[in-house]
Structure formats: structure tokens, C-alpha cells
Amino acid sequence: MRLLFLGAPGVGKGTQAEVLSRHYDLPHIAMGDIIREAMRKGTPVGLEAKAYVEKGQLVPDEVIIKVIRERLKEGDAKKGYILDGFPRTIRQGEALTEILEQEDAKIDHVVNFFVDEETLVKRISGRRSCPSCGKVYHLVYRPPACEGQCDCGVDLIQRKDDRPETVKSRLGVYKNETLPLIEYYEKKGDLQNIEACGTVEEISKNVQSVFGSA
């Protein structure tokens, strides 16, 4: 099964993808995680992406498309995947269609998670993540067992792009560049809208009821 998770920054796509990748035994391919890892390692992609990410802007399409093309060739992606944070522009959506056509494959479900802007900002401002294992927490909604520390023992950090001024820029970029992509999938008749309110578990159940039990 191939799934696309779309939605604004902080809506909870990554959290849902993490839960559902375990449930459906599918790799969770998160473009944001791939980019942050490249930035940590200082690879050419990471060095190019850094300035864009830190300003809350999108990394250029040609860089992202090259990265996803390589990632989807890896062995674990053969059985399917959950794509989180890709595509984000019409150009990326068209590139994905091309990649799939070359493999005679298709996306089974395109899910658009939505919630009001006040909730997005609350979720982003309280998010903390582990720089070592990548696990994501929230100070109020998903606190770590031990304050300030991941279950793996490493100190939690706040993402640089989760600072208020950068969040504003990310939300603006989402409206200008990603909303048209959502309309693109809507017109194709592929889109399933899921309201991302309630607990993580409630939302996962709603998603599963759309997909059926694989």
C-alpha cells in the first residue's frame, strides 16, 4: 500500500505516519527527517537545504525530487510506504506521478489532515524532539516520561524552524505553495480529508477506517 500524508506544518502528519507505519508495517518516509539528517551530516543536500529550512522556506523542487527518486529505489519501499511531507508543490506532485508511472504503480490513498490554525501553532510551539532517535514529543499532549529527556536518555530539543517567526513563514508557504497541490489531488478525485482533532489514537482510528484493515 502506498499512502500520501498531506497537511499544514504541525497538523500531526508525522505522528500519524509513525503510528500507522507500525500498524501497516510500511516504511515511514518523511522528507523533513531526511533533510534534517542530511543537514546534521553536512552532506551536499544538507548544506544546500539549511538556509531554506531555517527560514521556513521550501527547499528547491529539483533537490527534493532527486532525493525522493533515490529514496524510493531503496529495497524497503518496494512493498509500499507512507510519504510524509512530499509532495509539497504541484511540480513535486507531477514528479511523483512520473516516478510511479515508470514503475507501473499508483498511490492507494491521499490523505489531507486539517485542523484550525490556533491548534497548529499550539502543537508546533510545544513540540520537542530527540536529536538522536528522532522521537517526537509535546510538552502538554505527549510529554516525555522524564522531563526534558527522550526515552532513549538524550536531552530533547526544540527544532530551530519551530520558533514563532519561522512558523509564520512556514504557514504562509503552505498556503501559497501546498494548498494548490491539495486542489490538484482533489480534482483528480483522490483526496480524503481527515480532521486532525482529538487524540492521536482517535485520529489513527479515523484514518484506519478510511483505509480498511490491511
Binding residues for ligand AP5 (CB under 6 A): 7, 9-15, 31-32, 35, 52-53, 56-59, 64, 85-86, 88, 92, 123-124, 126-127, 136-138, 141-142, 161, 170, 199-200, 203
Residue 130: C-alpha distances to residues 54, 57, 120, 149 (Å): 18, 23, 20, 8
Q: Which residue in the block uniquely carries the three cell numbers 511531507?
A: 85
Question: With respect to ligand AP5, which residue has the nearer C-beta, 83 or 104?
Answer: 83
Question: With respect to ligand AP5, which residue has the nearer C-beta, 50 or 104?
Answer: 50
Catalytic residue among 13, 36, 123, 128: 13
Distance CA 38, CA 185 (A): 29
* Least CB distance to ligand AP5 at residue 133 (A): 14
Other beta carbons within 10 Å of 28: 19
Residues 6+ positions from 25 with CB-CB distance below 8 Å: none
* Least CB distance to ligand AP5 at residue 131 (A): 14
Distance CA 197, CA 191 (A): 18
Catalytic residue among 2, 88, 123, 128: 88
CB-nearest residue to ligand AP5: 32
Instruction: List the grid coordinates of 67.
Output: 532525493
- Let me know if 40 is a catalytic residue: no
Question: With respect to ligand AP5, which residue has the nearer C-beta, 81 or 137?
Answer: 137
Q: Give which of 166, 140, 150, 130 is closest to 9, Cα–Cα.
A: 166
- Let me know if 88 is a catalytic residue: yes
* Least CB distance to ligand AP5 at residue 146 (A): 16
- Let me know if 91 is a catalytic residue: no
- Let me know if 123 is a catalytic residue: no
Distance CA 135, CA 137 (A): 7
- Let me know if 142 is a catalytic residue: no
Question: Does residue 86 sit in helix, strand or coil?
Answer: coil
* Least CB distance to ligand AP5 at residue 148 (A): 14
Question: With respect to ligand AP5, which residue has the nearer C-beta, 57 or 208?
Answer: 57
* Least CB distance to ligand AP5 at residue 199 (A): 6
Instruction: List the grid coordinates of 211.
Output: 483505509
Q: Give which of 159, 209, 204, 169 is closest to 5, Cα–Cα.
A: 204
Catalytic residue among 2, 36, 123, 127: 127
Residues acting as catalytic residues: 13, 88, 127, 159, 170
